[in-house]
Amino acid sequence: MRHLLSLLLLVSSVAGYAGPRSAGPRSAGPRSAWPQQKHRFMFVPGVYYYRATSYWGPDRAVQAFGDNGRFQSVNVRLYGEYGLSDRLTLVGTLPFATNQYKSEQQTIHNSGLTDLEVGLRYNLLNVDNRRYLSVQAQAIAPLYQNASRIPYLGYASSGAELKLLYAGSLKLNNRDAYFNTEAGFRRFFRVGPRPVDQVSLLATMGWYVSPKNVLIGELSGLISYSSLFRELNPVNPTVNTDFRFAKATLGYGRQLGTGTWLYANAYGDVYGQNVGIGRGFSLTSVIRF
C-alpha cells in the first residue's frame, strides 16, 4: 500500500502545479469531486464483469481454487447525480449482481439487488473552476438477506461512508486532461456480531487524445478489517471481512453526442492479501441532461 499512497500524492502534486484551465473536463465520470450544476442530472448505467481462478492467501502466497474452480460476477449498476445547488449534489447507486462459483464438483450461483447507496456531496473549495475539493457522505442499505443461497451478494448489513475527493483539470503535452483522487472510510455496522471497517484510495487520470476521445488510467485500493478474521473461502468470497488489494484499470472513452459518453475499461488485481486474483472489464455510459 505504500506505493499506492505514493501514487496518490504524486497525482495530486502534478495537478496542483499544472497549467491553467478555465473549465472542468468534458467527460469526467461519476463519483468525482466536480459538483453537479443546479437542477442538472447525470445518469450512469454500467455493466461490470469479474473473474478469478486463484487468490492470495493470508501470507500472500498464490493459491489456485481447488477442482479447477472459478468465481465470476456480473454487476449492473445504475448511478445518478442531481444538483440540488451549485455546491450540493444528491448521489445514489442501485446495483444488481449475479455471483457464480463453478468447479468440477459443483456449480452454484446467486443473484439479486445488492447494496443501495444514497448520499450527498458538498463542494468545499472551488479554485478558478479548475480545482475542486469535496466531501461526500452516504448511507448503505442492503436490499437482500444472506440465507442459504451462496455465493453471498454482500455483507447484508447497513452501513455508512465518508469520502474526501480532490479533482481538477490540467494540460499534458498541450492537450486537455483531468485527474480525480479519493480517500474514503466505510463501516458496515453489523457483519455477524461485529462491524467491518474499510479504507479506500483511488487515483484517476484522463487524457484527451482528441476532443471526442479520452484515455484513462486508474489505480485503486481497499483495506478491509474486523476483529473477526476469516480466511478467504473461494466458494463464498464475499463472506471475507479481512483483506486488502490494489487494482489497475485502463480505459477508453468516446463522445457519442452532446452530453453523452461511452467508456470501455479493462482491470486487474495487482496486489492483495487474503483476496482473489482476478481480471475483468466494464462498459459504462455517462449521460448528462
Span 119-148, average pLDDT: 94
pLDDT confidence of residue 34: 85
Tens digit of each residue's pLDDT (9 = 90 or more) over 72-122 = 999 999 999 999 999 999 999 999 999 999 999 999 999 999 999 999 999
Band of the pLDDT at 173, cuts 50, 70, 90? confident
pLDDT of residue 30: 54
The pTM assigned to this predicted structure is 0.86
Mean pLDDT of the chain: 88
What's 18's DSSP letter? Answer: S
Overall residue count recorded for the chain in this entry: 289
Nearest alpha-carbon partner for 225 in 186, 173, 282: 186
Helices (H), the chain: 2-16
| Domain residue extents for the chain | 2-288
> What gap in Å lies between CA 121 and CA 2, rounded to an integer?
28
Q: Which three cell numbers stand for residue 269?
A: 488485481
Write out the E strands in the chain: 41-56, 62-64, 70-83, 88-102, 107-113, 115-127, 131-142, 159-172, 175-191, 194-210, 213-225, 243-257, 260-273, 275-288
Banded model confidence at residue 31, pLDDT cuts 50, 70, 90: low
Whole-Å CA distances, 71 to 60, 107, 158, 274? 19, 10, 25, 15
Q: At 9, is the pLDDT very low, low, confident or very high (cuts 50, 70, 90)?
A: very low
Q: Which position has the higher pLDDT, 271 or 129?
A: 271
Q: Looking at the predicted structure, is the pLDDT value of residue 10 above 60?
A: no
pLDDT tens per residue across span 191-243 = 988 899 999 999 999 999 999 999 999 999 999 998 777 788 889 998 899 99
Question: By the 8 A CB rule, do 191 and 155 touch?
Answer: yes
Residue 128, pLDDT > 80, answer yes
**Inter-residue contact 266 to 18 (CB < 8 Å):** no
Which architecture characterizes domain 2-288 according to CATH?
Beta Barrel (2.40)
Each residue of 34-64: pLDDT tens digit? 888 899 999 999 999 999 999 999 999 999 9
